[in-house]
Every structure is written in C-alpha cells, then in structure tokens.
Amino acid sequence: MMEILTITAIQLKGSLVFLLGLGGLYTTVRALITGIVTLPEIDTTRASIELEANRLVSQLRGLALASVLLFIAAVWLYFAGPIAGIDADMLKARKAVLTSAQVYSLIALVMIAIILAFIELRATVLRTRLGKLSTAK
C-alpha cells in the first residue's frame, strides 16, 4: 500500500497530473453548479409533482455545495497541506519516504476524487428525474 501511495505522490507532484487532477475536479464542480443554474422549469398544477421537483432541486443544491467544499479541501490539501511538502525527485530517488501526514493527505485527496465522481453520478440521476418531471402534467 505504501508503494502505491508513493507512486501516487510522485505522479501528483507532476505538473501535467496536477493540471489534469485538480482541473478535472474543477470541471466536475463547475458542471454541478451549471446544472443548478440551468434546471428546467416545472410548470404544473399538481402539488405532488411540484413537491417532488422542489425535493430534487434541494438535493441538487446540496450536492453542488458539497462538491464545492470538497474541491476547496482538495486545493487546500494540495497547496497548503502536507502534500505541498512532497519532493517527488527525492521520492523517485528513494532518498525520502512519505510522512504519515502525507500518507493521510494522499488518501484524503484520492477519496475526495472518488466522492466527487459519485456526487456527479447522483446529480446526473437527479437531473434526469427532474427533466422527466418537467414534462409531466
């Protein structure tokens, strides 16, 4: 496990992986926020449809807020947390090892990425349901 985390740390400190990693997280967060802004109008006289639409919109807003907070945590971990102190060249040369704080930060960063992927999947399902509700009469 330590070897996998060391390789992950070396890859994370590369500039291209950094751009792809945090850039991908940013793109996911931006898509969630954009999805909130572009939600379809629900024009119905049925209270049950309106209530369900409001529930779905509330869930989408909660997911968007959670994704923003997770993205901020990922940026903090990368720039101000223990990950910032990782020297990829020293790790490659086997002249340094990851500290326990760096290991936990790497695990947290990987978990944030996984959680954001699941948030995006859930938001897609909710937007699909909301789209179906917008056509219901």
Q: What is the pLDDT of residues 78-125, one digit of tens each?
A: 888 787 777 777 777 777 788 888 889 888 988 998 899 899 999 989
In terms of Cβ atoms closer than 10 Å to its own Cβ (0-12, 13-18, 19+), residue 51 is exposed
Cβ(116)–Cβ(28) below 8 Å = yes
- CA 6: distance to chain centroid? 22
Among 1-5, 51-55, 128-132, whose mean pLDDT is lowest? 1-5
> Which tens digit of pLDDT belongs to each residue from 33-85?
888 887 777 776 777 878 888 898 899 999 999 999 999 998 888 888 787 77
- pTM for the structure as a whole: 0.76
Tell me the CB-side half-sphere exposure of residue 9, using CA atoms within 13 A.
Answer: 32
Q: Count other C-beta atoms under 10 Å from residue 13's C-beta.
A: 18
Region for 39 from its dihedrals, namely left if φ exceeds 0, alpha if ψ lies in -120 to 50, beta otherwise: beta
